[in-house]
Structure 1
């Protein structure tokens, strides 16, 4: 099965905008109420058996089950009979809100994410229609339950043969968007390592350094516009909260944030296509991005957006038939790619790799990228043979002629 998501900008009428805003606000209230139930249940189990808190205590019966999506979905069905406001929203939209909360708790337990937080007014920015039919989608229109036909701008055609699975309505500073998820009953084979390979090292001085010597300078998307953002945020703080001028100033801040995100994403896609033009096998470092974001240089690491770049590069490799794999990043900048000797660089200011054992000299990031490439070749079953002066080849054990050649 092949699943792809297409994003289009929609042109809602004033009536449709009012419905979208109303549904987002009701979804936010349902999300916060369900979260408060779960939070109260957890806090009622956090006190000691023989003592209670002097500040406050959540008293819930000991046999009360833990709130889950199943229990809260049943409670939502019963609440619709008593609260007319809930009946204005399509039933599956509110169910998807509870599923979203369930996924947030799963991410907290399994991926060490933070405890889910309550959403203030305006923080809920999307809702989902999980079940749509093929007849609900035309060339430039989509039919949404309880709303009707909504016009969108067909910026690119949708390939034929796909089944419409769901539609997500998203609110952004630049307008409303619809994200259509379609599924094709085809099997796409995963690309295998072939042709020339490339190792990629990411950094703050250079955004990427490749094993073939390519260096791409890092644009400072957020840092360059930080002063303008600070000025706009100061203007927001001087306005009366909730007033019309406050909303206008807040919209300017949101548009600047969206501009920063769009320019960063555009840059990532361009670099990804540039790398896919140069190689058919790409290896990157498997970095601890959460730890890096909490370091002294966390702001610059987040500004570079390495996590988003790796996701985009993987998508680009999949579309263009390029093999992609993440490799262990331990001591990639401390080992000489020519003789495999640990050089012991201790300062980030040392930007040139000079091996005291073999004398091999090159850029520090390029040397790390060559180590990433060598480890990637070894991980996919190739034996790396050193030729001297930073040159090496990867040879399969079953073949006499080398498949890869690098400098």
Structure 2
């Protein structure tokens, strides 16, 4: 079974500078590899049923894929020695991101849905890096050992369950600081835990007048955190719009706006966790309707649907339900 825990990092100024340097180098490498993909794609494509009689003949080379671009990393470290500071697995994850973005553009995902043309990353759009190789004891007290980066302090507010091993650690820059998301795995816990005897089951119906209604008639009022914060967010957004692009005042306003949006998101998530715990404390089995959330998010009710956060709540509910059923 696989799950994820997120912790806030307490980095020193030198560690923050180093993380920003790594993110900047990875962003440049991502853009370079993506440009290489676009260059091959533009020079080798033609219409499905015809090709022009006179056309440019590019230099013949194989289609760049994940493995061919990954083989360029050793030469990258020779040509640009400062890339040696970055762990090899972190660089390989950068190549994997390019490969995934380009495949979704050309072929689509497992359901055949294609995404738009990948964009080059600006400094504000490349905000995370992934570590995937760890020592036997990567956590000691409230410190985490990131490969080739060193020990970092974190707010270790909940311990990792026994038997779970860290598979990846994703360091992300957010509006109010840095966070690490640990992906944990324990092969002894099955993905689906059978329930032989179910007592006190309940069904829930999601809504917009009430957040949810239980089959026994109990209602949970909808908090509408975004609606309540909309006036304050609009005021900060106006400050951003009126500031000169590139100025320090605009950067401060953007940071303030990001923190305000994150506060709304965190408050909503806290409500979802508490509601999920309240349901699981009283019921052994919870059934919910199948919702077309993406479809509803494209209607006139989009703001209310996104403010309710049904998708996030149902994901939290299912994850917590599995954790409650873990064998002790």
| TM-score interval (norm. to shorter) | 0.7 to 0.9
The answer (yes or no) to whether the contact 1:131–1:165 under 8 Å persists in 2 is: yes
Structure 1 position 15, deviation (Å): 1.0
Any residues of structure 2 matched to 1:166-315 within 5 Å, and which?
A: 166-188=168-190, 190-192=193-195, 194-315=198-319
The TM-score normalised by the length of structure 2 is 0.86
> 2 CA distance for matches of 1:113 and 1:284?
29
How many residues were matched structurally? 317
Question: Could you give the per-residue CA deviations for residues 286-305 of structure 1, whole angstroms, max 9, x where no partner exists?
Answer: 22222221122222211211
Q: Which of structures 1 and 2 has the bigger CA Rg? A: 1
Structure 1 position 223, deviation (Å): 2.2
Alignment correspondent of 1:372:
none
Alignment correspondent of 1:128:
130
The answer (yes or no) to whether the contact 2:225–2:267 under 8 Å persists in 1 is: yes
Residue segments in structure 1 that go unaligned for 5+ positions in a row? 323-407
Report the 3-state secondary structure (helix = DSSP H, G, I; strand = E; otherwise coil) of the residue aligned with 2:109: helix
- Pick which of 78-87 and 5-14 moved more: 78-87
Structure 1 position 312, deviation (Å): 0.6
Question: Could you give the per-residue CA deviations for residues 250-272 of structure 1, whole angstroms, max 9, x where no partner exists?
Answer: 11011011111101111111221
Structure 1 position 46, deviation (Å): 4.9
Alignment correspondent of 2:320:
316
> 2 CA distance for matches of 1:176 and 1:71?
33
Relative to 1, partners in 2 of residues 1:281 and 1:97: Cα closer, same or farther, differing over 3 Å? same
Alignment correspondent of 2:115:
114
Alignment correspondent of 1:142:
144
Structure 1 position 6, deviation (Å): 2.7
Alignment correspondent of 1:405:
none
> 1 CA distance for matches of 2:57 and 2:222?
54
Indicate yes or no: 2:98 matched with 1:101: yes
Structure 1 position 117, deviation (Å): 2.8
Question: Could you give the per-residue CA deviations for residues 299-343 of structure 1, whole angstroms, max 9, x where no partner exists?
Answer: 221121111111011012112239xxxxxxxxxxxxxxxxxxxxx
Structure 1 position 60, deviation (Å): 4.7
> 2 CA distance for matches of 1:203 and 1:58?
58
Structure 1 position 183, deviation (Å): 3.4
Relative to 1, partners in 2 of residues 1:50 and 1:167: Cα closer, same or farther, differing over 3 Å? closer
Relative to 1, partners in 2 of residues 1:46 and 1:148: Cα closer, same or farther, differing over 3 Å? same
**2:75 equivalent among 64, 75, 78:** 78
> 2 CA distance for matches of 1:238 and 1:85?
39
Structure 1 position 185, deviation (Å): 4.9
Report the 3-state secondary structure (helix = DSSP H, G, I; strand = E; otherwise coil) of the residue aligned with 1:109: coil
Question: Could you give the per-residue CA deviations for residues 115-166 of structure 1, whole angstroms, max 9, x where no partner exists?
Answer: 2333221222211110101233211112223322222222223344443333
Relative to 1, partners in 2 of residues 1:220 and 1:9: Cα closer, same or farther, differing over 3 Å? same
> 2 CA distance for matches of 1:65 and 1:212?
63
Relative to 1, partners in 2 of residues 1:208 and 1:39: Cα closer, same or farther, differing over 3 Å? farther
User: What is the root-mean-square deviation in Å for CA atoms of aligned residues?
Assistant: 2.6
Residue segments in structure 2 that go unaligned for 5+ positions in a row? none
Structure 1 position 11, deviation (Å): 1.5
The TM-score normalised by the length of structure 1 is 0.71
The answer (yes or no) to whether the contact 2:133–2:147 under 8 Å persists in 1 is: no
